[in-house]
A and B are shown apart, each in its own frame.
Chain A
Amino acid sequence: MVTAFTHRRGSHCESGVMSSLLHHHGLPMSEPMAFGLSSALAFAYLPCIRINGMPLVAFRMPPRAIVKGLQRGLGFGMRFETFRSPASGTARLDALLDAGKLVGLQAGIYWLPYFPPDLRFHFNAHNLLVYGRDGDDYLVSDPVAEASTRCARKDMEKARFAKGVLAPRGLLYYVTTPPSEPDWAVLGRRALARTTDIMLRTPLPFVGVRGIEMLARRVERLPLDGGGERARLYIGHLVRMQEEIGTGGAGFRFMYASFLQELAGKTGHAALDGLAIRLVEIGDRWQEFAVAAARMIRRRDALAPPALAERLRALAGDERLFFQELRRVQRAWAC
C-alpha cells in the first residue's frame, strides 16, 4: 500500500500517469508538461496497421513514448518488467504493492470493468496506476477517471495480458530513483526541436504535416458505393481517434497549447505564449472538422468526402506555418 497518494485527474492516460507518478515522487509536473517535454505531439497516418479494419490515425507518438521520453530527459531511474505468464505478472505486482511501490501498468481497455461499456473497445495501450491492494481488489488510480477506483484481481490480470496489437505482456513500471528538479529551459528547448522535427522534417510521407495531407488525399477518394456506409464508418473512425481516445480535445492540440503556455510562464520565454493561442485556434479548426464529419455521419449534411479533405488540407497548411514559427521561436531562444 502506497501512503499519502492522491488521485490526479488527466485527460490522457499515459501523460496523466506520468504526471501523477512524478508528483508522487516529489517533482510537481503537470500533465501538459509531461506531454510536451516528452515531445509526444505528432501526427501519423498508418494504413498498414488496422484497428477493426480501419487504419491507425494517431495524433501523438506511439505508446510508451511519454514514459521513455521523460525518463530520458529527466534522468531518473525507472524499471520496466514484462512477463511470460499471467500468474508471475500478478505475483510480481502484488509483491511491489506490498513493498509500498506505486506501480504503472499497461492494460487492455476492453477488460477493465470500471470503464463505461460503450467505450470498452480492444485497445491495449491504456496506462493506469495501482497504489494498493485490498483483499482481492486493486486500488486503481486511472487518470482518465474522475476518482480513484477498484478493480478485481482476475479482471486486472486479464487486462494486463490482453492479446493482439500492442499486447501489454503484463508490462509494469515503477520509479527506482526519484527525479530532481530539472532545468526547464534546456528540457523545453530540446523538446520543441524534437516536435517540430517530427511534424516538419520526418522523411516519411505518412508522418507529420505531410501525413495530414496524405490522409486528405485518402479521404478525398473514399468510395461512396453501398450508400456510403463504409465511408461514414471511416470518417467516424477519424473523429474517434481525434476526440474520443482521451486526447484532451482536438487530437492533443489543446494540451500542447497548455504546455507552451506553462513553459512560457516557467522560463520567461514569452514568445511561446502567442504560439499557444494560435495552436488553440488550430485546435478549434480540428473540432470544426469533427462537427462537419459527425453531421455527415448522422445524415444532417450530404456525405461529401472532398469537403472534409479540403478541411484537412487547410489544417495541414495551418500546422505547417505554426510549426515553422515554433521552430523559429525555438532557435531564437538563447539559454
Chain B
Amino acid sequence: MREQDVPQEGNATLAGHRKAIYAVGDDGKLRLVPSRGWEVEEIVTRQAVEDLERRAREARERVRAGATSPLEYHMYRARMDLALLSQTTGLWRWRVRRHFKPRVFARLPLSLLQRYAEALGISVETLGQVE
C-alpha cells in the first residue's frame, strides 16, 4: 500500500483514535502511517459487536418471558459465551447452564452471585435484573 492510499475514512469503531499501519512513501521506503480507519474494518467490527448485541437482546426477551435468567443476558452483555463465563468463574459449564434457569437462579446464594458479578464486572444488584 502506498502512503497516499492509507485509508482515512473515519472508522467509527475507533472512537476517534488513530491506528498505525505500514505503507510505502514516495521515496519507496516503508514507514508507519497513522490511519483514521478503513471502512472494511468498521464493517467487520460492527458485525461482531452487533452479533453480540443481538444475542443479548434475544436473551433479554427470554428473561422477560421467564425462559432464562438475567445471568445469560449479562453474559452476552459482557461479550462472553458459556465457555468463557465458565472459565472465568471456575464453575462447570453444566452448572452455569443450570443457573440460566430462572427458578435456580432465584435461589442462588450470595457467594455465587458475587462470583458471577465479579467475573462479569458488574454489581450483584445489576446482575439480578435486566434493563
- Residue numbers of A with Cβ under 8 A of B are 9-11, 31-32, 50, 52-53, 110-111, 116-122, 144-146, 158, 162-165, 167, 232-233, 236-237, 239-240, 243-244, 246, 248-250, 254-255, 257-258, 261, 276-277, 280, 283-284, 287, 290-291, 293-294, 297-298
Contacts and interface: CB of A to CB of B under 8 A. Distances in A.
Nearest to B28: A277
A280 B21 CA distance: 12
Given A11-B20, A261-B29, A294-B40, A236 B48 contact: yes
Contacts of B30: 32, 254, 257-258, 261, 276, 280
Nearest to B22: A254
Main secondary structure of the interface of A (DSSP, over half): helix
B21 A249 contact: yes
Contact of A240 (B22, B48, B81): B48
A119 B42 CA distance: 10
A31 B15 contact: no
Interface of B: 1, 12-24, 28-32, 34, 38-41, 43-49, 51, 78-81, 83-84, 87-88, 90, 119, 121
A258 B44 CA distance: 26
Contacts of B22: 11, 32, 248-249, 254-255, 257-258
Contacts, number: 129
Contacts of A280: 1, 24, 30
A-B complex: 5 closest residue pairs judged by Cβ atoms: A116-B15, A258-B30, A118-B13, A249-B21, A254-B22
A316 to B, nearest CB: 21
Most buried by A among B18, B22, B23, B30: B22
Contact of B44 (A158, A239, A246, A249): A239
Contacts of A237: 44, 48
B43 A294 contact: yes
15 contacts: A10-B20, A11-B22, A11-B32, A32-B22, A120-B79, A122-B80, A122-B84, A144-B19, A162-B88, A240-B45, A244-B44, A249-B23, A276-B30, A291-B40, A297-B47
Given A52-B81, A239-B40, A294-B40, 17 more contacts: A11-B20, A32-B30, A52-B79, A52-B84, A53-B81, A116-B17, A118-B15, A145-B17, A163-B87, A164-B87, A165-B87, A233-B48, A240-B48, A258-B30, A280-B30, A287-B1, A294-B39
Contacts of B20: 9-11, 144, 248
Given A122-B80, A164-B88, A297 B43 contact: yes
